[in-house]
Structure 1
Amino acid sequence: MIVLSLIAIVYIGFVALAQSDMKRLIAYSSIAHMGFVTLGLFVALLMPLSGSGFGFNASQMAIEGAMVQMISHGLISGALFLCVGVLYDRLHTRDISDFGGVANVMPVFAALTVLFAMANAGLPGTSGFVGEFLVILASFKHNMIVAALAATTLVIGAAYTLWMVKRVFYGEVSRDGVAALKQQPLQFHEWSVLGVLALLVVLVGVWPQPILDTMASSIAQLLEHLSVSKVPF
């Protein structure tokens, strides 16, 4: 199952690279992030049976990473879908080739979107980094090859994310529709939602401890039940 999780992350990453629709690209990236969730859960299931000296701690770390990754996924993917919706509402297209130079006419909106995109790529200091880091670290305690492969998949995620950001937000304003965005600023409700999501993405990225402390007792209880389980994994 760990192998299937890694295959899912890599395969979906390459599928995302081939997308020309922003919404589809983000949707496929969401599936890739879920691969890290399943990877963390399967590593946690296998660690108690591995016989390593740090099985329980690694199992807890893997589940914590999977849980934080799910929370982060909800924040980041929701924010990116909203950003795509903002552009679609004004230009009625999601095709990446129809954009270019959005940062020249909507700089603050572009900065927020780039923040969410970097979080989607796992940039340190954002919520996208915390869960993936914990899962990779736990995987390292289970198997160095698995951890190395999981870390390598982050390069694919960064590739399709940066490709989209470059094509949509940077370069010259090549279309009249993009230039017209300057006369269509963000509304208050759009600002408020994007601002709250940006704050949460950064807050979880720099201070994840409250979330980890909240789930610690439940995870410990789950692992205690797992340790006495007779079900083979």
Structure 2
Amino acid sequence: MLQELFCLSGLLLCPVVGIVTLLFIPNSRIRLIRVLGLSCSLLTFLYSLVLWVCFDPSTSKFQFVESFRWLPYSNISLSLGLDGLSLFFVILTTFLIPICILVGWSGMRNLGKEYILAFLICEFLLIAVFSILDLLLFYVFFESVLIPMFIIIGVWGSRQRKIKAAYQFFLYTLLGSVFMLLGLLFLFLETGTTDLQILLTTEFSERRQILLWLSFFASFAVKVPMVPLHIWLPEAHVEAPTAGSVILAGILLKLGSYGFLRFSIPLFPEATLFFTPFLYTLSAIAIIYTSLTTLRQVDLKKIIAYSSVAHMNLVTIGIFSLNIQGIGGSLLLMLSHGLVSSALFLCVGLLYDRHKTRLLRYYGGLVSTMPTFSVIFLFFSLANMALPGTSSFVGEILILVGAFQRKSLVATVSASAMVLGAAYSLWLYNRVVSGNLKPDFLHKFSDLNSREVFIFLPFLVGVIWMGVHPKVFLDCMDTTVSNLVQHGKFD
């Protein structure tokens, strides 16, 4: 009954209404603009929580399903639906957008109306990506997300290299998706439809599965990103504004992994099994390589960016374990990374706002002048290294359990990489917070204000909640994950 009252199209309309309303407000009304932008994003978040309350975890079928005819002379329709794979990514999206608006609150007069519009457009496109059930329209929204992110990095980036970083981000991710488009066109010509629910019941020969799997892999591997296709990420993070890094680390890095789970594995199960050793090898190498690279970085943002690559490649190991533990753990780690990595980028952004530098050698001794910041930074540094009791610990343990069932050597390599994760997390915290102050380089010694503390509170609650009581989240995913494993006959 409740599902009939609330629909996905209503969730998509929330940011659209905010976008249209803001277009008619003059730039001089900056206070009204930011209040309306924040109110609209908070309303969207509350609406997504209502969908969670109405969600039925006992079924693996898509819920809140709606379908609208898009092209009258084809079988392509705008189909919407949520299941255990996509529900929490929609909630994570609607959670982070208000945070992004709050981050730029004090400097909103300089940022202007376009700043809020860019994030509301990004929110609309991301919700559509996670709820679309038609492959061609998924591709349209999947690639459309690049446009607002390109603008966010290129216009509001922090340094002179921001234009180069924006083009690098755009071209890297767009180039890989060209192969996916060719695969989609082949699917449409072969089956006459791009509807996911119909394609899930269609069988392809092993040779065609391999070719189609590779076409999808080219797009999703860049988005994860997997080594050696990760070069765009550190550059994009370094040049992006703080809010841009939050949405990039929190949501955009999940699009590739989500694509593997939503399309590659259920549509091409035989090809997935064929390429699993290749994915395992690539991911294990990436975890070790990026963890060691993280230890050599001198820019605070690059340290967190490279650690994100390591975490996301651990996620791919969980996904391609192809069992309930591995996939469930990868989903939980993606959600955890969306909170922990976003919070760490916020910490770095706060330091940059005060001291106008992200070079590690200029920092030290902040515990004596920024005690509140030091405590919060410690908490998220510990969460980043998967301390028991935090959200990352549960996800990583489940991934390792799933990986041991599939390939013990890969699981052992991944587990040893967790030691490197602890090394760079503690090393970063020690360099920034401990030691002596460097007054020749740092001038503004002010601790967090009430607005900044308020921004971190929901991240703290989310990380502890997922770490102490993960059953709430895993129960909603379990039926869908079990159906995915059974559908591919991976057990």
TM-score normalised by structure 1 residue count: 0.87
- TM-superposition CA deviations, 1:77-124 (whole Å, max 9, x none): 000000000110000011111100111111121111111011111111
Q: 1 CA distance for matches of 2:382 and 2:442?
A: 23
Q: 2 CA distance for matches of 1:105 and 1:207?
A: 35
The structure that has the greater radius of gyration is: 2
Moved more, 141-150 or 119-128: 141-150
**Partner residue, 2:287:** 9
1:164 aligns with 2:428: yes
Aligned-pair RMSD on alpha carbons? 1.6
Letter in 1 for 2:474: L
Paired residues of 1:101 and 1:178 also in contact (CA < 8 A): no
Instruction: Give, in angstroms, the shift of residue 178 of structure 1.
Output: 4.2
Letter in 1 for 2:424: Y
Superposition pairs of residues 115-130 of structure 1, within 5 angstroms: 115-130=379-394
**Partner residue, 1:35:** 313
Q: 2 CA distance for matches of 1:134 and 1:175?
A: 45
2:469 pairs with 202, 207, 216, which one? 207
Instruction: Give, in angstroms, the shift of residue 137 of structure 1.
Output: 1.1
1:155 aligns with 2:433: no
Instruction: Give, in angstroms, the shift of residue 175 of structure 1.
Output: 2.3
**Partner residue, 1:142:** 406
**Partner residue, 1:24:** 302
- Note the residue ranges of structure 2 that are not aligned, 5 or more in a row: 1-278
Paired residues of 2:360 and 2:432 also in contact (CA < 8 A): yes
Paired residues of 1:119 and 1:128 also in contact (CA < 8 A): yes
Q: 1 CA distance for matches of 2:374 and 2:464?
A: 17
1:78 aligns with 2:342: yes
Q: 2 CA distance for matches of 1:6 and 1:140?
A: 13
**Partner residue, 2:331:** 67
Paired residues of 2:372 and 2:447 also in contact (CA < 8 A): no
1:91 aligns with 2:369: no
Paired residues of 1:119 and 1:126 also in contact (CA < 8 A): yes
Q: 1 CA distance for matches of 2:403 and 2:286?
A: 16
TM-score normalised by structure 2 residue count: 0.42
**Partner residue, 2:43:** none
Paired residues of 1:102 and 1:178 also in contact (CA < 8 A): no
Q: 1 CA distance for matches of 2:348 and 2:337?
A: 16
Instruction: Give, in angstroms, the shift of residue 185 of structure 1.
Output: 2.8
Paired residues of 2:294 and 2:424 also in contact (CA < 8 A): yes
**Partner residue, 2:447:** 185
Q: Per the alignment, in what secondary structure is the counterpart of residue 488 of structure 2?
A: helix
Paired residues of 1:61 and 1:134 also in contact (CA < 8 A): yes
- TM-superposition CA deviations, 1:171-216 (whole Å, max 9, x none): 12232554741xx232322111112111211111111110000111
1:113 pairs with 368, 373, 377, which one? 377
Q: 2 CA distance for matches of 1:209 and 1:79?
A: 23
- TM-superposition CA deviations, 1:102-150 (whole Å, max 9, x none): 1111112111111101111111111111111100111122232222111
Q: Per the alignment, in what secondary structure is the counterpart of residue 321 of structure 2?
A: helix
Paired residues of 1:173 and 1:179 also in contact (CA < 8 A): no
Displaced runs of 4+ in structure 1, greater than 6 A? none
- TM-superposition CA deviations, 1:35-63 (whole Å, max 9, x none): 1110011111xxxxxxxxxxxxxx10000
Q: Identify if the C-alpha distance between structure 1 residues 102 and 178 changes in structure 2 by more than 3 Å, giving closer, same or farther.
A: farther
Instruction: Give, in angstroms, the shift of residue 222 of structure 1.
Output: 1.1
1:101 aligns with 2:365: yes
Instruction: Give, in angstroms, the shift of residue 27 of structure 1.
Output: 0.6
Q: 2 CA distance for matches of 1:227 and 1:84?
A: 45
Q: Per the alignment, in what secondary structure is the counterpart of residue 392 of structure 2?
A: helix
Please identify which structure carries the higher helix content: 1
Paired residues of 1:65 and 1:132 also in contact (CA < 8 A): yes
Larger relative contact order (CA 8 Å, sep ≥ 6): 1
Letter in 1 for 2:478: A
